[in-house]
Amino acid sequence: MTRLAEMETLNGGSTLAAPAHGGGIDAARRAFPDAPAPWLDLSTGVYPRAYPLPAFAPEALTRLPDASAFEAAEAAAARAYGAPPGFDVVAGAGAQAFINLLPRVFPARRVATLGFCYAEHAARWRAAGAIVTIAASLEDLAAMDVAIVVNPNNPDGAATAPQNLLRLARRLRARGGLLIVDEAFADFTPERCIEPLLAEEIETAENIVVLRSFGKAYGLAGLRLGFALCAPPRAARLRAAQGPWSVSGPALAVGTQALADADWLAESKNLAAQSARRLDALLAEAGFGLVGGTNLFRLVESVHAARSFARLCAAGILTRRFDERPSWLRFGLPAEPRDFERLSRALGVRIDV
């Protein structure tokens, strides 16, 4: 493979018709062997300061995780996400595990995502035989068998008011349709989450599945923990499809403790907001136009995006590019002042960090 062809496959390309993702530092290292190590990975939306690992009993590693370990993590998630009674919580090995499962457990024909979003949704429904389109509005989504809204959206951060999602869910429900709300990046904006609204309208919740990611906001993406929230009959089907021991003992133990720690989340929310503002200033200075984002990643555009991506790779900094939107680049948050300095230098800008 030529250097250029290899670069093309770097997190923008795809193999086996599987979507590309951020996080492919190993491929970047091979394509840019002369880049200074260690690489700075800004290609994902994972919070760069991990939740400090609590101590957990050795049994979390040595024994099969039992029902009480699942129940504890699911109860902590229900409280953290404000899920009302009657809206069940199912733990899985990351939100991705449920994105894999949903088309199999709730098969449907006509599926649409709201706008251009996280590619795995469309890929998994297509693999299951569905016709997947991109809807431009909630109005268009209302005509589907399954409507998928990533909220806030990845990669552009577009936010949909939860009241509007509830209205959409009501319309879908009248036709037997299902609304999937992927709140993988919603931990720092609970006021825009749909779960608390369902307390007043638990019947509508029958046709809603909400996905949550633990690893992103808590900076522990390697643990693999996520949740699906839905009405009990759907939860039972998801549990049965997952089979036993679908989440590791450490993930359940750490998730149970971290999700109960509101102080840490509040502090991280502030730190992430500061980092996002600093990153915006730096990227503006470098000539990028802000498209949008969340406080876990920023999306910018430039006619020189491809060149900037390569230049950053040569400096050992991996960002996220998009085959479908060649002028876009997505940046995760740098963790430390020295990471901001490194990014500034690589982009050739001076900025107070």
Site residues (CB under 8 A) for its own copies?
16-18, 21-27, 41, 44, 46, 48, 50, 53, 58-68, 93-94, 96-97, 99-100, 104, 120, 124, 127, 215, 219-224, 236, 239-251
CB of residue 64 to its own copies, shortest distance in Å? 4
Question: Cα(189)–Cα(193) distance, rounded to whole angstroms?
Answer: 7
Q: What are phi and psi of 74, to 5 degrees?
A: -70, -35
CB of residue 109 to its own copies, shortest distance in Å? 19
CB of residue 141 to its own copies, shortest distance in Å? 24
- What are the CA-CA distances from residue 66 to residues 71, 307, 344 (Å)? 9, 50, 48
CB of residue 305 to its own copies, shortest distance in Å? 23
End-to-end alpha-carbon separation of the chain, Å? Answer: 39
Which is closer to its own copies, CB of 121 or CB of 298? Answer: 121
DSSP 116: S
CB of residue 124 to its own copies, shortest distance in Å? 7
Radius of gyration of the chain (CA): 20
Question: Cα(208)–Cα(233) distance, rounded to whole angstroms?
Answer: 12
CB of residue 265 to its own copies, shortest distance in Å? 17
- Residues 212, 259 contacting (CB under 8 angstroms): no
CB of residue 343 to its own copies, shortest distance in Å? 18
Which is closer to its own copies, CB of 27 or CB of 199? Answer: 27
CB of residue 33 to its own copies, shortest distance in Å? 14
Q: What are phi and psi of 14, to 5 degrees?
A: -150, 155
- Those residues whose C-beta lies under 8 Å from the C-beta of residue 329, and which sit 6 or more positions away, are 288, 299, 300, 301, 302, 305, 308, 309, 319, 320, 321
Which is closer to its own copies, CB of 94 or CB of 316? Answer: 94
Which is closer to its own copies, CB of 44 or CB of 256? Answer: 44
Strands, E, within the chain: which ranges? 40-41, 88-92, 110-114, 131-135, 146-150, 178-182, 208-213, 226-230, 289-294, 297-301, 317-318, 320-321, 328-332
- Those residues whose C-beta lies under 8 Å from the C-beta of residue 69, and which sit 6 or more positions away, are 60, 249, 252, 253, 256
* Vertex 164 angle, CA 162 and 166, to 5°: 70
- Residues 347, 308 contacting (CB under 8 angstroms): yes
- What are the CA-CA distances from residue 44 to residues 177, 222, 296, 318, 320 (Å)? 32, 12, 9, 9, 7
CB of residue 21 to its own copies, shortest distance in Å? 6
Q: What are phi and psi of 287, to 5 degrees?
A: 95, 5
Which is closer to its own copies, CB of 199 or CB of 241? Answer: 241
Which is closer to its own copies, CB of 162 or CB of 219? Answer: 219
CB of residue 93 to its own copies, shortest distance in Å? 6
Which is closer to its own copies, CB of 291 or CB of 296? Answer: 296
Which is closer to its own copies, CB of 38 or CB of 176? Answer: 38
Question: Cα(168)–Cα(204) distance, rounded to whole angstroms?
Answer: 10
Which is closer to its own copies, CB of 293 or CB of 332? Answer: 332
Which is closer to its own copies, CB of 59 or CB of 336? Answer: 59
